[in-house]
C-alpha cells in the first residue's frame, strides 16, 4: 500500500524534525544569558556542531528529512486533490475537525518559506561562506553570536522570525499526534496522552522560538 | 415551517449539473429530513417536474443508504447521525438548506444526490470474508472470546458503509471504512486464517479505487453514524506493517 508508505515517510521524517527542534531550541536558549556569557558559549557550541563528525551525519539526515518531508507532502497533496476533484459548495469543516488538520499544506508552505529565509540568514553565511564574511570572536571561533544578534536587532527580521512561529505551532500540534498514528501506534489511552503532549510541545516550542528574537532585540 | 432547499441536480454521470432552489412552505418540525424531501418530490410530481433523486432504504439508521451532504456536513448538522435520523426541528423556520451529493472521485454521481458507492463493495470483496466449516452449525461456545475483544470487533463491525467518512474527508480517504472492516475480522479468532492477506488485499483495493491518504483530521469519526474511532486507522496501519513482515 503506497498510501501507507508515503504517509509513513512524512510521519517518520516529521518526528525526526520534532526531535531536532528540541536540540535547536536548547541552543537558542543560550541567547537568553547575559551577552558576555552568551557570546562565548553560543560560538563554541556552534563550532562544536560544525566540527563534530557525528553531527555531520545528523546534519545530512536533517537535510534529507526536510527534503523527503516536503516532496512526499507535495505528492500526497496532489494525489489527495485528485481523489476529491470537486469540492462542496458549502463546507463546514470547523464543526468536525481542527483548523490545523485541514490546512497542514498551507501551514507547511509558511514553514518552508521560513526555512529558506532562515538558511539564507545563517547556514549560507556560516557554512557555505556566502555573502558577508563572518568574523571571529576572542578565542577564534566564528562569531555566530554576532550574526544572530545583528539579525535580531532588525525589527523586520524579529517580526518575521516570531510571526512564522504561529504556523509552526499549529503544524507541530497536528503533525506530532498524527504521525504516531500514521506509523501504526494505536494504544487508545496513550494516544490521548500523546495528543496532550503534542499540544504542550507545540506551544512551548513555537512560543520559545518566537519570544527569543524579541528578548535579543531588547537586550 | 418554510424551507428553501438548494439542491444539486444532475441528470446523469456525464451531465454538468448545478444547484436549483425549491421553496417548500408546509413542512412541520416533526418531519424527518427525508420526509421533507419526499414532500418536495410530491409537489414536483404535481407540477409535472422531475423529482429529486435521493437514496434511502431502512429509514432507521442501519442501512447506510441515505448519505447526502447537508449544509456543509455529511448527514447534516449533528455528529454521528444518518440523514434519515435527522429531523426538520434541527433547522430554523425560513432557513435555506444546501443539499449536495457525496463528493469523491471514487464515488461517481449517478443522478442528483445519488452516488455510486460500489468501490466499497469491491474493497469488501477483496478480503472481508472468513473461512468457515460447511455442514451443521457449529456449537456457539466452541470458540471463546473475551468481552473486550468481542466489544472491539462489534464496534468496528457497526460500520454501515454509508460513505460519510469518504465524503467528509478532504482527501476522500476510505481509511476509516477499510480499517473498520479489517479490524472487525482480524480482531477475532475466526478471522485469523486470512488475517495478513486480508489487510494486504483490502488496502491494495482501497488504493486501486483511487481514494486519498488519511491525514487524521478526525472529521470522519465525527460524521460516522456509528461513531467508529479513527484509532481503527492506526490499528490498520499496525496490522499492515505486521502483514508485510509476517504475511
Ligand atoms: S435510510 Fe437506512 S440508514 Fe438512512
- Res B232: pLDDT: 98
pLDDT, tens digit (0-9, with 9 covering 90-100), for A115-126: 999 999 999 998
pLDDT, tens digit (0-9, with 9 covering 90-100), for A158-169: 999 999 999 999
Q: Give me the domains of chain B, ranges plus CATH numbers.
A: 3-110 (3.10.20.30), 118-246 (1.10.1060.10)
**What's the CA-to-centroid distance between B72 and ligand 1, angstroms?**
19
Q: Give me the domains of chain A, ranges plus CATH numbers.
A: 3-82+99-218 (1.20.1300.10)
Write down the pTM of the prediction. Answer: 0.94
Beta-bridged to residue B70, according to DSSP, are B73, B99
Rounded-to-integer distance, Cα B65 and Cα A112, Å: 43
Asked if the C-beta of A190 comes within 8 angstroms of chain B's C-beta atoms, the answer is: no
Q: For residues B30 and B88, is the Cβ–Cβ distance under 8 A?
A: yes
Residue B43 pLDDT grade (very low, low, confident, very high; cuts 50, 70, 90): very high
Distances (CA, A) of A10 to A122, A169, A186, B88, B175: 26, 17, 18, 44, 17
Rounded-to-integer distance, Cα A38 and Cα A30, Å: 6
Q: For residues A169 and A161, is the Cβ–Cβ distance under 8 A?
A: no
Residue B158 pLDDT grade (very low, low, confident, very high; cuts 50, 70, 90): very high
Number of Cβ atoms within 10 Å of the Cβ of B208: 13
* Residue (of A13, A22, A8) closest to A202 by Cα position: A22
Stretch 149-188 of chain B: residues touching chain A, C-beta under 8 Å:
168-173, 175
Which atom of ligand 1 is found nearest the CA of B55?
Answer: 1
The residue behind cell 524534525 is A17
Give the SS3 label for residue B99.
strand
- Burial profile B71-87: b = 16 or more Cβ within 10 angstroms, e = fewer: bbbbbbebeebbbbbbb
Asked if the C-beta of A82 comes within 8 angstroms of chain B's C-beta atoms, the answer is: yes
Asked if the C-beta of B207 comes within 8 angstroms of chain A's C-beta atoms, the answer is: yes
A166–chain B nearest CA distance, Å? 19
Contact (CB<8Å) A186/B103: no
DSSP B48: T
Beta-bridged to residue A142, according to DSSP, are A136
Q: For residues A119 and A110, is the Cβ–Cβ distance under 8 A?
A: no
Q: For residues B87 and B28, is the Cβ–Cβ distance under 8 A?
A: no
Q: For residues B210 and B106, is the Cβ–Cβ distance under 8 A?
A: yes
Q: Which residues does a 6 A CB cutoff place in the pocket of ligand 1?
A: B 56-59, 61-66, 82-84
Asked if the C-beta of A5 comes within 8 angstroms of chain B's C-beta atoms, the answer is: no
Q: For residues B216 and A104, is the Cβ–Cβ distance under 8 A?
A: no
ipTM: 0.93
Nearest to A84 among B77, B104, B239 (CB): B104
What contacts A63, CB < 8 A, 6 or more positions away? none
Asked if the C-beta of A184 comes within 8 angstroms of chain B's C-beta atoms, the answer is: yes
- List the single residue in B with minimal CA-CA distance to A87: B103
Distances (CA, A) of B146 to A79, B14, B180, B183, B187: 41, 51, 19, 16, 11
Nearest to A83 among B100, B212, B240 (CB): B212
* Three cell numbers, residue A42: 553560543
Which atom of ligand 1 is found nearest the CA of B85?
Answer: 4
pLDDT, tens digit (0-9, with 9 covering 90-100), for B50-101: 999 999 999 999 999 999 999 999 999 999 999 999 999 999 999 999 999 9
Residue B217 pLDDT grade (very low, low, confident, very high; cuts 50, 70, 90): very high
Contact (CB<8Å) B216/A181: yes
**What stretches of A30-184 show up as alpha helix (H) in DSSP?**
35-51, 53-83, 99-102, 104-118, 124-126, 144-151, 155-163, 165-182
Judging contacts by C-beta atoms under 8 Å, the chain B residues touching residue A185 are: 234, 238
Q: For residue A54, report the phi and psi dihedrals to the nearest 5 degrees.
A: -65, -45
pLDDT at A1 over 70: no
Amino acid at each position: 500500500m503506497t498510501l501507507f508508505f508515503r504517509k509513513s515517510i512524512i510521519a517518520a521524517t516529521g518526528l525526526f524534525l520534532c526531535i531536532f527542534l528540541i536540540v535547536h531550541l536548547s541552543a537558542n536558549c543560550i541567547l537568553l544569558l547575559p551577552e558576555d556569557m552568551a557570546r562565548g558559549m553560543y560560538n563554541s557550541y556552534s563550532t562544536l556542531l560544525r566540527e563534530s563528525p557525528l553531527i555531520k551525519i545528523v546534519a545530512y539526515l536533517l537535510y534529507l528529512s526536510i527534503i523527503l518531508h516536503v516532496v512526499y507532502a507535495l505528492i500526497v497533496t496532489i494525489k489527495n486533490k485528485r481523489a476529491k476533484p470537486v469540492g462542496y459548495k458549502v463546507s463546514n469543516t470547523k464543526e468536525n475537525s481542527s483548523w490545523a488538520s485541514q490546512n497542514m499544506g498551507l501551514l507547511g508552505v509558511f514553514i518552508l518559506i521560513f526555512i529558506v529565509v532562515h538558511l539564507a540568514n545563517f547556514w549560507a553565511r556560516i557554512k557555505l561562506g556566502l555573502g558577508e564574511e563572518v568574523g571571529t570572536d576572542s578565542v577564534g571561533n566564528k562569531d555566530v553570536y554576532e550574526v544572530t544578534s545583528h539579525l535580531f536587532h532588525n525589527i523586520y527580521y524579529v517580526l518575521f522570525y516570531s510571526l512564522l512561529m504561529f504556523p509552526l505551532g499549529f503544524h507541530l500540534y497536528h503533525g506530532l499526534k498524527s504521525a504516531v498514528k500514521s506509523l501504526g501506534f494505536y494504544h487508545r489511552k496513550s494516544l490521548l496522552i500523546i495528543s496532550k503532549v503534542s499540544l504542550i510541545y507545540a506551544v512551548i516550542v513555537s512560543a520559545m522560538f518566537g519570544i527569543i528574537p524579541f528578548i535579543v532585540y531588547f537586550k | 415551517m418554510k424551507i428553501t432547499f438548494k439542491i444539486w441536480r444532475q441528470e446523469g454521470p456525464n451531465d454538468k449539473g448545478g444547484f436549483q432552489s425549491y421553496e417548500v412552505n408546509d413542512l412541520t418540525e416533526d418531519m424527518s429530513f427525508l420526509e421533507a424531501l419526499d414532500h418536495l418530490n410530491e409537489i414536483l410530481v404535481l407540477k409535472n417536474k422531475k423529482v429529486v433523486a435521493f437514496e434511502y432504504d431502512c429509514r432507521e439508521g442501519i442501512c447506510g443508504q441515505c448519505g447526502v451532504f447537508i449544509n456543509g456536513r455529511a448527514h447534516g448538522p449533528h455528529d454521528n447521525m444518518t440523514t434519515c435520523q435527522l429531523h426538520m426541528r434541527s433547522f430554523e423556520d425560513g432557513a435555506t438548506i444546501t443539499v449536495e451529493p457525496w463528493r469523491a472521485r471514487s464515488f461517481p454521481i449517478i443522478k442528483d444526490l445519488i452516488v455510486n458507492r460500489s468501490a466499497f463493495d469491491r474493497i469488501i470483496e477483496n478480503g472481508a470474508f472468513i473461512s468457515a466449516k460447511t455442514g451443521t452449525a457449529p456449537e456457539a461456545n466452541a470458540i471463546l472470546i473475551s468481552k473486550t475483544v468481542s466489544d472491539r470487533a462489534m464496534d468496528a463491525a457497526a460500520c454501515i458503509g454509508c460513505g460519510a467518512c469518504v465524503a467528509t474527508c478532504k482527501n476522500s480517504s476510505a481509511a476509516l471504512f477499510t480499517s473498520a472492516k479489517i479490524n472487525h475480522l482480524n480482531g477475532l479468532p475466526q478471522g485469523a486464517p486470512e488475517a495478513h492477506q486480508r489487510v494486504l488485499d483490502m488496502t491494495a483495493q482501497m488504493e486501486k479505487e483511487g481514494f486519498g491518504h488519511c491525514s487524521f483530521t478526525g472529521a470522519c469519526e465525527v460524521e460516522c453514524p456509528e461513531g467508529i474511532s479513527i484509532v481503527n486507522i492506526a490499528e490498520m496501519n499496525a496490522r499492515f506493517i505486521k502483514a508485510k513482515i509476517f504475511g
